[in-house]
Chain A
Amino acid sequence: MTDPISPRDDHSTTASNAGPTRPDGGNSTRADGGETQSRVFLEDGDAELDRGPLQRWVDDSIKNPDKVYRAMFYTAAIFFLVTTLFPFYWLLMVALTPEGQLSDIILTPNGFNPGAFIEVFQTIPFHWYVFNSFVIATASTVLVLVVGSLAGYAFGRLEFPAKVPLLLLVLVISFFPPAAFFIPLNDLFNTSFFILEPITGDGTLYNTPGAMVLPLSAIFMPLAIFILTTFYAQIPDGLEDAARVEGTTRLGALFRVIIPLSAPGVATAGVLTFIAVYNEFFFSFLMTDGQPESWAPLLEGILAYQGQYEVLYHLMAAASIIGVIPVAILVIVAQEKIVSGLTAGALKE
């Protein structure tokens, strides 16, 4: 904000006139604003006569709205950065604080113990949990992208009866809270199926990645279908026709031409699905027995530092930070893909 007392540029002449009449030049910071008042009366521009600091600021803002927008942008950006990044900062401080000194951490750690990031792996096989989560999230993402692409192709590029009602029906799936599916699904996944016996041993999906991949893919599928439908619909028909005349089937054209050209959309849908599945709590917590060899995900790993008699908060904090790293890498890589996909476009219709 402009200092209400400092003379403005466009009043430099009046300000210099006013100069000699101000014996107390050093007293310009009076808190009661009296000085400003007297200065205003000394200026002889009649338009400026009754303008207080607020009005002058408003006047300035109307003349230079860009300044206000910039200020608003910085305010909003700083607000979001603080609310999203400060918890990370605090997590880091907690992780660096040695065990036993964990109370009263405000901005700096009480001590310095980077060994917590090693200890994380020594206490429990945390890397195993990370691996499990990574596999589950990757499998779900692949499943969602493949099925979502086929659905997106049909919804985006073909005409068929009841297209819009069907698309809305798909959307309806995402209205239900996951808890609504949980009991029947848990029951289903604990039922033994003969054909699954060679794969899972006892014929149930409980304690296998399938118990998380299947429901999570289904829950995040509608969003992916919507994103992909929009992108696939925008690819000019001519390109698909050209691919088909050149020798692909419809499906071949989808994978060779439409999907590569929709890279930004596919990357967006993929990243959103990956992050959502990787961070998912409900099914991840309930569809395994919590052991890493039973495909328990990251989340169970973090909770494993919580014993009956003690809670290793600094290790939980360190584990949380480690768990974020794969997602952070993915987002950085995918972001490049999104940008390159956008610039490689050059579609001419």
Chain B
Amino acid sequence: MSELLELAERIAGQAAKGEQIEAYASRGEETDVRAYEGEVESLTSAASAGVGVRVIVDGRQGFAYAGSLEEEVIRETLAEARDNAGFATPDEHVGLPGPDGRAPATMDLWDDELVAMPTATKVELALELERRVRSGDRRVRQVASADYGDIAGESAVATSTGISASSRRTICSLSVSAVAGTGSDSHTGVGFSAGRGPADLDSDRAATDATERAVRLLGATKARSGRCVVVFDARVTSTLLAVLSSAFSGEAVTKGRSIFADRIGQEVAVAGVTLVDDPTDRRAFGAASHDAEGLACRRNVLVDGGVLAGFVFDTTSARRSGTASTASAVRGGYSSTPSAGCRALALTPGALDATEILAAVDEGLFVQSITGVHSGVNPVSGDFSVGAEGLLIRGGVLAEPVREVTIASTLPRMFLSVLHIGSDQEWLPGLAAGQTLAIDAMTLSGS
């Protein structure tokens, strides 16, 4: 058993009669390197650890956390959590899960090669990435940032109700931002590559992506306002799915904060849309053997052939809606309590790849990146309005570059207006896979 799990069990083991305790402990080491003009701009190396404790007495929950694993601090934290529990409103649905008999998927999310990699090699990766972009296309005049980053982390959760689970993972990434053009015709392009270990990193692809994305926007202008087909780049689709994921949260549903509440069994999308959250797919960056409450992760179908099929639940939200947890508890680290959420969303791929989708669409707007997602996409009201840049689609191929426009619709209408889902699925850092996605009849606001 890992040291961290032992520690979590020791805390959970202190539960008094009538009291439930959950201890979540985590620790990690990370390195970040930023290169600039052939030099190391910054090198950060860090180790952090902490613990979060939930105490539940008579349906009242209290929580406390600390950024330390020292015995004395942990004692204080448990005492605080106990004290805090006295101030919550009693709620019969609040409680910790017990083991539900599901075996966790066997998953190796740890790369020893990364852990053993010397800092000098990490520095060289960042320098090399910057060099590739600088020595490439002459139209790239600046590299705003070129970064290498990695994290090796471990977490453990134990409860007085018999849960005991731990896992560890590594992630490393390269990312670069290229600037092409000058003055008001400046454009940025971001490229990245990420994986569990150094063998997954593709510096050339990150550099090429950043360069191509910046350069192809040179000369961009506002497009004419009107309705059109919008084709989202795979990365943008991943971002959109991540934002939309909160509408599938069982907690949002039971509290009346989801456009999908009360719509199970109804057609919410065109027949080609099947959306699944499957953290047991090890290719996903959000892959996990256990959820944040220590239950074995499983595959959950959210939309099946256009019909709303299910939501994701943690223990409390499941009890509120009279169902069982789908092992979808997530948490933002030791300093926050669990809530229901997705980890590995993906649309079932369609028949066409990106090029074929452009050809099929013939006329429209290809969107390379979007801005204002958090201010412009509301999963409660369904309103959707974001800033966009990209290229016009003419005669089935990419044409003139476009900037400073918005695209708008509503989420329910967009689901019912899906034209094509790309066959080009790729797992990207974050909650969701990316793939090209074409949506009909969006409003473009430009000149």
A and B: bona fide binding partners = no
